[in-house]
Each structure stands twice: as C-alpha cells, then as structure tokens.
Amino acid sequence: MPPFSSVLKSREVEDPVNLWLHRPLAYAFVAAVYRTPITPNQVTFLAMALGVVAAGCWIYGAPTSMVVGGILLWVSAIMDGADGILARAKKMSSAFGRALDGLADMVVGFSTSAAGIVHILRQNTEYPPWALVTLGIAGVVCTVFQLNLYDAYKELFLRATRLGSGGESHSAAEIAKVNEARDDKRTPWHMRLSMDFYEDYLGKQEGFTLRTNPWGSRLLQARWLVDADNAAIYRKHNRLPMSLWISISLAPHSYCFAIAGMLDLLFPYIVLRLTLVNGIALLALVLQRRASRLTAEAFEAKGLL
C-alpha cells in the first residue's frame, strides 16, 4: 500500500472530519482489500447500494430504521472516498471511474433526499404537503448547485496548486470526444450511461460556472505551467473562498444529513440548508468571483492567460 498521504487529494480541499475520520477509515478498508481482486468500481457500486438501502430505511421510517439508515449513509460516504483511494493506490484512475462515482453520488443523493421528504411528510402532518415538498425540492436544488460549484473550484484549486500531479477531472469537451469514439455495441450499458451522465454533468457545471463567475470559467478553461510561484499566486487569492466551499461540500453534507436522519431532525436540517448553508454559499461565491478576478489579472500580467 502507498502511504496515506500519497493517496489523498489534498489537505487544502477537504474538511477536517473528512480528512481525519472518513479518509483514515476509507484507507483502512482499502488496506484490507488492496491485495484482493476488488476493483475501485466495485467499491463505488457498494457505496451506491449502501446509500439506496439507507433510503429504504428512511422510507420505512421507524425510529430504529432511521438510525440504521443514517449509519448506512455514513458508511456509504466512507466507501465513496475509498473507491478513489483504491484507484490511486492501484493506479487505476480513469474517466469512467470518475463518471461512475458521480453517477453513484447522484443516485445516493436523490434517493436519500426523496426518502427524507417522504419521512418529513409523514412526521409533519400539521403542514400542507405541497409546502413540505416544495421546501424539500428547494433544499435539493440548492444543494446540487452548491456541490457543483465546490467541485468546480476544488478541481481548479488542485490543478493550480498540486505540483506534478494537477487535478483529476476532465472537461466536457474531452469526455465528448471519448463518447464519440466509443463503440456502443461493445460498451456495457452502465459504462455508456455513466459516461453520458459525466459529459452532461460537466457541461452543466461549466455553464453554471460561466454564468456565476466568468473569471473562474476562464481559469477553468485555461492551462498554464504549474510551478511553485504560480501555485503560490493561486493560493494567495483562493485559499479563503476554498475554505468556505469545503464547509458546504459533499462530505459535510453527507455526515450531517446522516446524523439528522438518525436523530429524526430532517425537517430542521432542510431549513438549515436553505438559510445558513445558502448564506455561506453566497458569501463563498462573492469571495470566489473576487479571487478569480485577481488570479486572472495576476496570470495575465505574467502572460499565462
């Protein structure tokens, strides 16, 4: 097994709980299966299955099943990190792996969110059902936008600051070329579905980033030499907004959502996301626009853009 530090994305783009709890647990799991035939994609399927079963527990809705569902969702989040660690450890990272991981995240996210809304409807009969459903859908939509922005700026941060390794993602255009060249008759259906989803996901992410932050979109599309000086420039301007994006990223949402389910506090959690978390996201976006503009200006002055 490679050392723990070598299979992390970066300490600068992950929250403390994910870094010091989820990642070590995921690394321990990977160490146990490293010399077996288990593949990263199989771990991704396991994470997805655990999340779907968690959703089923929440739909059932008994107090014990809510606790079990929350535990399963938390384990699913740990496995969601383990697939990437195993891929980096076995040097099996691929566009399909990232596509499948993104599709699995979507399946788990939407299934547990739908289950949460169903449970809230059962537990809060004093409110009009349409109001609760609207609240739940608004929470899901806002969370999707927040996670997309975090993912875009996390990838840009990695690409701009990791010397010799860069980021891990691809552009929508790169995936489109892969999809155009594939042989659909010989490509398994789950690979086609995952790659089509990945292309669509990246396209929407790039479009949303362009509409909310044209300077950030310009940096995402550009390529420059990643050296110590350029990395320092990027860190100087982007460390603060990145710390805010981290606080509302997928990992904190996963374990907070799981805890809310275990304590049967899903309704307050949605309200919290629509108020406090949206406020953090708005502040992060304002600071990110400024950081992206200053970074672009600094790179323009060096002739990099």
pLDDT digit string, tens, across residues 82-95: 999 999 889 888 88
What band does 225 get if pLDDT is binned at 50, 70 and 90? Answer: confident
The predicted-structure confidence for 12-37, as pLDDT tens digits, reads as follows 898 888 888 899 999 999 999 999 99
Exposure letters 199-209 (e unless 16+ CB within 10 A, then b): bebbeebbebb
Range of the structural domain that residue 34 is part of = 4-301
Residue 178 tokens read as: 């892969």
Q: Is 190 helix (H, G, I), strand (E, B) or coil?
A: helix
CATH number of 217's domain: 1.20.120.1760
Count of domains observed in the chain: 1
Q: 156 exposed, middle or buried (CB, 10 Å; 0-12, 13-18, 19+)? A: buried
Q: Each residue of 51-108: pLDDT tens digit?
A: 999 999 999 999 999 999 999 999 999 999 999 999 988 988 888 888 899 899 999 9
The half-sphere exposure of 164 on its side-chain side, counting CA atoms within 13 A, is: 1
CA–CA gap between residue 83 and residue 85 (Å, rounded): 6
Backbone angles phi, psi at 51, to 5 degrees: -65, -40
Tell me what pLDDT residue 26 has. 94
Phi, psi angles (nearest 5°) of residue 274? -75, -15
The model's pTM? 0.89
Per-residue pLDDT, 201:
86
